[in-house]
Amino acid sequence: MPFVIAIDGPAASGKGTIARALAARFGFHHLDTGLLYRATGAKGGDPISAAATLEIGDLARPDLRSAEAGQAASQIAAIPEVRQALLDFQRRFAAQEPGAVLDGRDIGTVICPDAPVKLYVVASDQVRAERRAAELGADPVEMLAQLQERDRRDSERATAPLKPADDAVLIDTSTLDIDQAIAVAVAEVERVRSGALS
Q: Which residues lie across from 102 on neighbouring strands? A: 6, 31
- In 34-189, DSSP assigns E strands to 99-104, 117-122, 169-172
44 marked as part of a ligand binding site: no
User: Residue 58: CA atoms inside 13 Å, Cβ hemisphere, count?
Assistant: 19
2 marked as part of a ligand binding site: no
Q: What is the DSSP string of 3-38?
A: EEEEEE--TTSSHHHHHHHHHHHHT-EEEETHHHHH
9 marked as part of a ligand binding site: yes
70 marked as part of a ligand binding site: no
40 marked as part of a ligand binding site: no
164 marked as part of a ligand binding site: no
16 marked as part of a ligand binding site: yes
- The amino acid that residue 23 corresponds to is A
Residue 73: other Cβ atoms inside 10 A = 23
* Residues placed in the known binding site for ATP: 9-17
Q: What residues are designated binding site?
A: 9-17
